Structure 1
Amino acid sequence: MSNLVRSKKDKEIIAEYESQVKDVRAQLVEQQRCLEQQTEMRVQLLQDLQDFFRKKAEIETEYSRNLEKLAERFMAKTRSTKDHQQYKKDQNLLSPVNCWYLLLNQVRRESKDHATLSDLYLNNVITRLTHISDDSARLLKRSKEITFQLQEDLMKLLNELYTVMKTYHMYHGETLNAETKLRDAERQVGVGKVGPGGGVEPLFGMRIEERHQRRNAARKMEKMREKRKAKYSENKLKSLKARNEYLLTMEATNSSVFKYYIHDLPDIIDCCDLGYHSSLSRALKTYLSAELSLEASRRTGLEVLEGAVEGLDPARDRQRLLGLYPTAFCPPPRFSFQPHMGDPVTQIAAQPQVQAELTSRLQQLQSRLSTLKIENEEVKKTSGATLTTLQDMTVLDDYDVSQSFTHSPSSESVKSSVSDGYLNKPSLAKRRANQQETELFYFTKFREYLEGSNLISKLQAKHDLLKKAMAEGYIADTLTTSRGRKNSHSNHQDSTKAIPLLVESCIRYINLHGLQHQGIFRVSGSQVEVNDIKNSFERGNDPLIDEENNHDINSVAGVLKLYFRGLENPLFPKERFNDLLSCVPYPSTATRT
């Protein structure tokens, strides 16, 4: 009956875990779909903008031709008149006629301006939008590769957690079975020693064969009991180690899941948006510059759009995207420890059987984390510098086309007026090639940074949990020892004056981390860190209570030395200084005392 209850409980735990993992997997799939949908919306938006500007360019071209026909029609009438001959000589006409000629010249200028505007739409704005569409698809593809890899790593962690949990449950079940068998064996040994009447049956009343049989049976039962006792101890140790491994893996998994949802997903969204907002801003600013230069009177209406263009903000769009799909991007609940059959232990057990192993593992994690943090920091700096360079490439101020509307007395074609435009620059192909090469390098470094930070996050979670467990075990031992000392020396202690927080905290930190450190109290620490720790104590805080802050042990020792050095009344009073010096020549310790 007990086995059936255990099996049912195990199935319930596994079903609950599989349901939680299924929800996480569904979220990951939904995230990919949301990112693809967002990119499709952008591509569709860009396509609509291209169609809009293409149609507008056709309208502007037709309008330019009509204006040119209008101006040519009335210019042909005036070329043979006296007024026109007089205008060619000294350009001195009556004000109404002068206004008429200026009006015709203005129409011709407007015709050229609208032809220039049409050319800018076709060969500048639309080309920019095409590039943005191509960039968005390319960035989505690379971001999906990174997202897929991160999700694969996350699922591997969940599978590893499932395996470790199953192992822990198996070993704990074996421990319970071994305990039951041990109790049965002990009960059989007790029954074998008791006779039928309830007392110990005398052997001298038996035959020799029966005596030998009884003795052999007793030896076998005792041997079986010892064997089962050894099996129980072995299974209990395995269960202890499996539970510790389960807790460590669970903490690392929760840390990785939290980091993925809180830090990695926003970064991936930023990668999908890389250059999109600034490039779209440049394209629309080109349109704004052309329209504002063409017709200043329309500036009021265009400022509304300009304000919207200036308000392009990738961070705000990212927040909007996260707000639109809360179910896809909200972190799942933390994985909680699932005790097996009423197991009361829910924390890392730093028992003597595994304390040496945990200490060795903690030291290995510290060494590995130190190396990884240095390497990942270098990768982060390289990635940041590359991102800055890439952003600089996408925020060039080349959208001002006011020079395209500069008129000269000589007659020039429309194409010559925009010869310095966006497309005709010789450096365009090289600039785009450099941009794509920089993008590739940035994504490589970004991938390395995410992989390194994920590994650091997992190792740091295990390190912190192990360190906390070891510290709690040490404090428990220290409290037990100090309690005994206090009871034996209570008559010699002065309880009216408390130990300063700085002294108590520094000594505790040195006891935990510095007893094996070479050069303690001799090697100077970082002056900056010493000042920071000292200032924190002066504000009433304890900067050494947080186990996550890895302070330099030499700096902590330096704070303690600085405190004793700055006491108004030193530990060794000044009036006793000469007496202490006079004791130095005495060879005997008893004489010195």
Structure 2
Amino acid sequence: MSAQGKFKKDKEIIADYEAQVKEIRTQLVEQFKCLEQQSESRLQLLQDLQEFFRRKAEIELEYSRSLEKLAERFSSKIRSSREHQFKKDQHLLSPVNCWYLVLTQTRRESRDHATLNDIFMNNVIVRLSQISEDVIRLFKKSKEIGLQMHEELLKVTNELYTVMKTYHMYHAESISAESKLKEAEKQEEKQFNKSGDISVNLLRHEDRPQRRSSVKKIEKMKEKRQAKYSENKLKCTKARNDYLLNLAATNAAVSKYYIHDVSDLIDCCDLGFHASLARTFRTYLSAEYNLETSRHEGLDVIENAVDNLDARSDKHTIMDMCNQVFCPPLKFEFQPHMGDEVCQVSAQQPVQTELLMRYHQLQSRLATLKIENEEVRKTLDATMQTLQDMLTVEDFDVSDAFQHSRSTESVKSAASETYMSKINIAKRRANQQETEMFYFTKFKEYLNGSNLITKLQAKHDLLKQTLGEGERAECGTTRPPCLPPKPQKMRRPRPLSVYNHKLFNGNMETFIKDSGQAIPLVVESCIRYINLYGLQQQGIFRVPGSQVEVNDIKNSFERGEDPLADDQNERDINSVAGVLKLYFRGLENPLFPKERFQDLISTIKIENPAERVHQIQQIIVTLPRAVIVVMRYLFAFLNHLSQYSDENMMDPYNLAICFGPTLMHIPDGQDPVSCQAHVNEVIKTIIIHHEGIFPSHRELEGPVYEKCMTGGEEYCDSPHSEPGTIDEVDHDNGTEPHTSDDGIPKGTLVAHQ
């Protein structure tokens, strides 16, 4: 290759190298631009998040204030009412209790949303601001380190360029020296060839010294060029070695930077960003989840109050609260005129025949009226059942409205076809009002008929008594003269409870003492029935039963009967469970006395489970013996029921939610929302540790709950049953008349049927 070609080749090599280095420099610059864009994008994201949470905090605060104003508005309305004194006691009524709990829940949500505002403003936004500062600082530090790494990389490439140029230079000089050496060798060879062609003898004597001088010059030039070639070749070899070593080092440095250092540099920019952002979002999630938890706790209290809506209990509560109004008045006494001493119907002749005819007419009329009124009553009961079915239809589930996977249009179209569509609602409302009108018509007819029967029956009974006594008088039976009535002192009307011997809404200790039952029959029978047929019933004690069936079972127990005695699964389990809850909820004195409420609640502060159980045990042993026996039986059953929580979904906590408000009434003046969670925790502890809390059968005699119960004869002959207690209950001790499902007293209306 000619020198010009070699020169051109060298220029191309240098140009390729410079282009490669230039490309690396461009990449290094672009790398910083990418990292800077990433940092700016993160800062924008953090800024948007801060703005979002700041606005959300303002909305939460505004919502909190609106809720507080809403609750305060209606609370003030209640306080400013003229009947406030009466309304203070209305929390005893289940609908009013639900209303108060809704207001309490509204205040609770107001506080929770205010707390959410505080967390967003003083925690989440502050965290995001700190992350922004960290992003700026880390990028700045990473950029400084990156610039230093770039300088080192460019320094390495410059060194490689220098040693490459040195190598090329020494290699060119080596080639030039080699060329000159070869030229000298050719001259020497040429000189020797000439010497061989001419005979030594033919040479003139004067030419020999000149020939020797020329040979010496050529040899000297060759030696000189040989030395120069060796020197240049050595320099070229060293330069090549340096070039190759620097080339390996440069490639290694470039490769390390692109494969490892760039990744490490990005990690430096990312240092703690994702972890800090995750902590911030988890703070947000924790706040929202706790908001939902608090909301669910409050809603559970309202749900329990809704489950406890009871018209019968409210009726008795109102009558007890206003006993002066609803107490039966004194009977009208016979007021004799001008000292008349006759105070009875006279059945002697000549009026006896007239009275006898009148008696038979009344008897015939009563028989006809009773038959007619019985038919009206049957129609009334059927109409009531129809109304109950209309009013208890489960149309409250709005889950379809919260299906986020579907579009709004599809949700609306689906809702229009559901049970709650406007057409269906209007149709059901019209049917309900028509049925109500028919019910009230029959109710009025029934009342008029029963009132007439009552009046005629009173006359009939008095005539029967009078005519009977008249016959005895005619047969020689004498009777004392009728004395004028003694003046009676005016008495204050007594409350209804004085006339009643109640099972439901009564005093359990008094009932146990009077009836001889160690455990009220309603408790033992309901628990036995659930043991046989309901341990795996999903949502037991939480799903409400039929109100009509609950009332029917309750009335049977109130009459001293056992409607669950037959070993047949004919009753609705949820209705039986509802009767058991209704009994404990309506007790005059709750199972856990109010005076021990604070003592029981204080045990929640004890962290050691064994110490907590011991403290609860010390409180319970101070209760009356009869109460402890019932408690032991009930909580042993609840513990057994919780063992089937995989099937019935009722673990100790869920059972505590259902029975907490029923067994432990929150005293007046206490916040029901904050106290209810503690009540539930106490009940849950007793359910779990009932064996360590209640005395055993050896320590305290009385019925003990058995996990494996049987029905029929075996149940009746249970060693824990009190023999003859059901039959020996006195039903004529002044108990209040039983009432029908719609609240009509049965004792006075259908006693003759």
Q: TM class by shorter-chain length?
A: 0.3 to 0.5
Identify, as 1 or 2, the structure richer in helix.
Answer: 1
Q: Highest Rg: 1 or 2?
A: 2
TM-score norm. by structure 1 comes to 0.48
